[in-house]
């Protein structure tokens, strides 16, 4: 699709923008550009060459003026597009949004409440009732609320674990699962066709509430928060035990603290130690450089608290509480972080072993960039397993399809600290995952075992696989160009070996095909900018651009051998060294070193 000249688009944006702060910011950049400032011209091109698009988790970007940014105008146009799509779908016999409404929630970022109010005003202007959470809430609670309240859709304003300067716009349909193709494209078409802002009817709270177009969802309402906690409790895999387990927790200045503490207390965990300076929502995230538990240093305060309290399990949510990070005591002292793959495999193993499926075949879902260990476990234990593209919109779709075919979905996960513990929430659920992991750690402790010990047992039983993951941040237009160039290089000059093992399979999700031993065939995956190389020994490397940040991500998994749990640690250390060597060589070849 052709896009207007960036400067022309910037002036049109300026004429519509309702926010005085972003108007002033953009006006200054335009004036600098008109005076010949090359940096200002690049900035305009970066912000106005095409709109912000739905990625792996909706719209997400830096909060500032621009079509490719998050701001009040983009939020209102996006909501107009969503509302128009819902009305059009209802007119064709789908759920009627005017009768069932849209759930709307937001996190603790500085701009989130304003964006939520803007979205509510536009929906009410279309005659669509809004079920609005009045205070910041976890993303999984919004996803749970959509089917619970029988709404036709849901929106949550959040940028999850992104930097403080970012925000986002995530959409759920009536199932509580995120939108996926072709719905996202249909909504994008309506967004592009949205009229100028002064032609979009918006109702104030005072106008909307008396006519039933605005209702506040009380966070303590039994139908939502209590219903969510009840559902998690009913889905427990282990009965509460008397075995004590010391836990340290941090919400990383997000919205997870209250519900995590309540969920753990209901399951019999007492004396949970929380980092007080990080327990309340704060969009500035003052104690961390980045509010992502995967980032170096982000877990420093909770690990210090864990050492002070003798914690046996360390838990952390990201700011919207849809992800979970965890650490456990290391054999040599201190704490060892569990990777997303390890948490996912441990939770899946527990569900495979202990979930009540009512006689149906159990189903687990993972992604093409996550460890292949879960697929091996599922194969060895006669459990159904589906691999999807990265993103929980695909995991939820696979779970719903499996359930429709008579399977019992028990767990889905992706390596980036995202897990859904059964059908309670059709999206990442860092609160439910925290509860399940704590219950598993307590169950194992009562039997003289640990999470690390159980992980080693699984690697011995099903095969030693060791992931090595990394990403390269490349912001701006130049960064996008370098990401495209790297992906093109991988396609035009595909890897011939991974370590010493020859590549026998190449998958290109953008082309929708794979090549195995020289023979090319179509694959049953949605189109996506992703390439995978698989070696004869089972090692594989996948590369893809991030769907939420200006990064290119690499996922390498190497294969080793360990006949006993004692051999796992040394074998993984050797594979880690090999992986880092392969990483350095690949980054040099792609010009990303």
pLDDT in tens, 49-64: 888 887 766 899 999 9
Q: Identify whether residues 195 and 84 lie together within a single domain.
A: yes
Catalytic residues: 160
Rounded mean pLDDT, 540-557: 92
Q: Identify whether residues 153 and 208 lie together within a single domain.
A: yes
pLDDT value of position 414: 96
Please name every residue paired with 325 in a beta bridge, in sequence order, or none if there are none. 316
Residue pair 347/436 in contact by the 8 Å Cβ criterion: yes
Q: Which of 279, 310, 336 is the last residue of a domain?
A: 336
Closest C-alpha to 244, from 312, 166, 326, 341: 312
Place of tokens 């494209």: 185
* pLDDT bracket for residue 2 (50, 70, 90): low
Rounded mean pLDDT, 107-126: 98
Helix (H, G, I), strand (E, B), or coil: what is residue 27?
helix
End-to-end Cα, the chain, rounded Å: 34
Query: Which residues, other chains included, contact 578 with Cβ-Cβ below 8 Å and sequence gap of 6+?
Result: 499, 558
Rounded mean pLDDT, 548-566: 93
Is 59 part of any domain? no
Percentage of the chain exceeding pLDDT 70: 98
Q: Identify whether residues 320 and 371 lie together within a single domain.
A: no
- H-type helices in 493-544, by residue range? none
Residue pair 321/259 in contact by the 8 Å Cβ criterion: yes
- Whether 37 has a pLDDT exceeding 80, the answer reads yes
Strand 335-338 with 362-367, pairing: unpaired
Residue pair 150/122 in contact by the 8 Å Cβ criterion: no
Element (H, E) at 386: strand 384-388
Q: Look up residue 416 and give its DSSP letter.
A: T
CA dihedral 249, 292, 163, 551 (to 10 degrees): -170
Is 63 part of any domain? no
Is 231 part of any domain? yes
Q: Identify whether residues 480 and 559 lie together within a single domain.
A: yes
Please name every residue paired with 534 in a beta bridge, in sequence order, or none if there are none. 505, 540
Q: Which of 316, 336, 356 is the last residue of a domain?
A: 336
* pLDDT bracket for residue 242 (50, 70, 90): confident
Model pLDDT for residues 286-343, shown as the tens digit of each residue: 999 999 999 999 999 999 999 999 999 999 999 999 999 999 999 989 999 999 999 9
pLDDT value of position 56: 64
What's the CA gap between 561 and 210, in Å, rounded?
67
Rounded mean pLDDT, 163-175: 96
Please name every residue paired with 414 in a beta bridge, in sequence order, or none if there are none. 418
C-alpha dist (Å) from residue 276 to 100, 302, 482:
39, 10, 42
- Whether 1 has a pLDDT exceeding 60, the answer reads no
Q: Identify whether residues 233 and 317 lie together within a single domain.
A: yes
Q: Identify whether residues 76 and 214 lie together within a single domain.
A: yes
The domain that holds 533 is classified in CATH as: 3.30.310.50
Range of the domain at 537: 465-590
Cis peptide before 555 (omega within 30 of 0): no
pLDDT value of position 222: 64
- Whether 464 has a pLDDT exceeding 80, the answer reads yes
Is 25 part of any domain? yes
Is 57 part of any domain? no
Element (H, E) at 366: strand 362-367
Element (H, E) at 409: strand 408-414
Q: Which of 187, 202, 218 is the last residue of a domain?
A: 218
* pLDDT bracket for residue 221 (50, 70, 90): low
- Whether 375 has a pLDDT exceeding 70, the answer reads yes
- Whether 377 has a pLDDT exceeding 90, the answer reads yes
Closest C-alpha to 395, from 426, 360, 421: 426
pLDDT value of position 218: 78
Q: Identify whether residues 303 and 367 lie together within a single domain.
A: no
pLDDT value of position 220: 53
Helix (H, G, I), strand (E, B), or coil: what is residue 305?
helix
Q: Identify whether residues 291 and 414 lie together within a single domain.
A: no
Which segments of 523-591 are extended strands (E)?
Answer: 531-535, 540-545, 551-560
Q: Look up residue 210 and give its DSSP letter.
A: G
Closest C-alpha to 540, from 368, 411, 347: 368
pLDDT value of position 3: 61
Is 60 part of any domain? no
What's the CA gap between 554 and 573, in Å, rounded?
19
Q: How many structural domains compose the chain?
A: 5
Q: Look up residue 564 and give its DSSP letter.
A: S
The domain that holds 244 is classified in CATH as: 3.40.120.10
pTM: 0.94
Model pLDDT for residues 98-107, shown as the tens digit of each residue: 999 999 999 9
Average pLDDT of every residue of the chain: 95
Q: Identify whether residues 282 and 213 lie together within a single domain.
A: no
Q: Identify whether residues 558 and 498 lie together within a single domain.
A: yes
What's the CA gap between 378 and 451, in Å, rounded?
19
Q: Identify whether residues 309 and 254 lie together within a single domain.
A: yes
Is 65 part of any domain? no
pLDDT value of position 525: 85
Model pLDDT for residues 177-217, shown as the tens digit of each residue: 999 889 999 999 999 999 999 999 999 999 999 999 999 99
Q: Identify whether residues 496 and 549 lie together within a single domain.
A: yes
Which segments of 84-133 are extended strands (E)?
Answer: 102-106, 130-132
Residue 506 CA neighbour count, 13 Å, CB half? 19
pLDDT value of position 139: 98
Range in 16-20, 99-103, 143-147, 524-528 the model is least confident about: 524-528
């Amino acid at each position: 699709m052709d896009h207007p000249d960036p400067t022309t688009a910037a002036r049109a944006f300026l004429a519509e923008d309702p926010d005085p702060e972003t108007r002033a910011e953009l006006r200054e950049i335009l004036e600098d550009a008109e005076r010949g400032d090359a940096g200002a011209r690049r900035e305009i091109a970066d912000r106005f060459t095409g709109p912000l698009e739905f990625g792996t988790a909706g719209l997400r970007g830096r909060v500032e003026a621009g079509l490719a940014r998050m701001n009040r105008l983009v939020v209102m146009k996006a909501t107009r597009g969503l509302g128009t799509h819902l009305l059009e779908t209802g007119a064709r016999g789908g759920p009627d949004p005017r009768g069932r409404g849209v759930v709307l929630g937001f996190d603790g970022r500085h701009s989130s409440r304003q964006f939520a109010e803007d979205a509510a005003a536009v929906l009410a202007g279309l005659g669509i009732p809004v079920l609005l959470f009045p205070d910041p809430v976890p993303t999984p609670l919004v996803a749970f609320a959509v089917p619970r309240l029988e709404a036709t859709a849901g929106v949550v304003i959040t940028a999850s674990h992104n930097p403080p300067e970012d925000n986002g716009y995530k959409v759920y349909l009536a199932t509580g699962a995120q939108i996926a193709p072709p719905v996202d494209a249909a909504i994008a078409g309506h967004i592009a066709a949205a009229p100028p802002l002064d032609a979009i009817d918006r109702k104030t709270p005072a106008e909307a509430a008396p006519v039933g177009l605005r209702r506040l969802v009380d966070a303590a309402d039994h139908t939502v928060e209590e219903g969510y906690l009840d559902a998690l409790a009913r889905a427990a895999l282990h009965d509460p035990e008397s075995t004590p387990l010391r836990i340290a927790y941090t919400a990383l200045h997000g919205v997870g603290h209250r519900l995590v503490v309540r969920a753990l207390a209901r399951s019999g965990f007492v004396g949970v130690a929380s980092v007080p300076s990080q327990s309340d929502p704060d969009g500035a995230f003052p104690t961390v450089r980045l509010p992502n538990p995967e980032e170096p240093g982000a877990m420093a305060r909770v690990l210090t608290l864990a050492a002070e309290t003798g914690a046996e399990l360390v838990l952390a949510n990201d700011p919207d509480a849809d992800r979970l990070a965890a650490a456990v005591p290391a054999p040599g002292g201190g704490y060892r972080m569990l990777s997303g793959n390890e948490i996912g495999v441990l939770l899946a193993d527990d569900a495979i072993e202990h979930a009540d499926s009512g006689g149906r075949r159990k189903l687990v879902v993972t992604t093409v960039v996550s460890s292949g260990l879960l697929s091996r476990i599922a194969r060895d234990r006669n459990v159904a397993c589906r691999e999807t593209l990265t993103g929980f919109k695909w995991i939820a779709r696979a779970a719903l399809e499996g359930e429709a075919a008579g399977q019992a979905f028990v767990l889905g996960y992706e390596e980036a600290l995202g897990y859904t513990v059964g059908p309670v929430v059709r999206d990442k659920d860092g609160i439910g995952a925290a509860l399940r992991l704590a219950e598993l750690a307590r169950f194992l402790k009562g039997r003289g075992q640990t999470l690390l010990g159980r992980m080693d047992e699984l690697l011995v039983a099903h095969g030693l696989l060791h992931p090595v993951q990394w990403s390269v941040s490349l912001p701006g237009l130049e960064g996008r160009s370098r990401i495209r160039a790297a992906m093109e290089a991988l396609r035009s000059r595909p890897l011939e070996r991974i370590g010493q093992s020859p590549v026998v399979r190449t998958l290109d999700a953008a082309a929708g095909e794979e090549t195995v031993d020289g023979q090319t065939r179509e694959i049953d995956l949605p189109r996506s900018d992703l390439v995978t190389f698989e070696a004869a020994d089972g090692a594989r490397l996948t590369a893809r651009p991030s769907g939420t940040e200006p990064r290119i991500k690499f996922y390498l998994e190497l294969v080793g051998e360990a006949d006993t749990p004692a051999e796992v640690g040394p074998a993984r250390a050797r594979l880690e060294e090999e992986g880092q060597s392969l990483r350095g060589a690949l980054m040099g070849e792609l010009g990303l070193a």
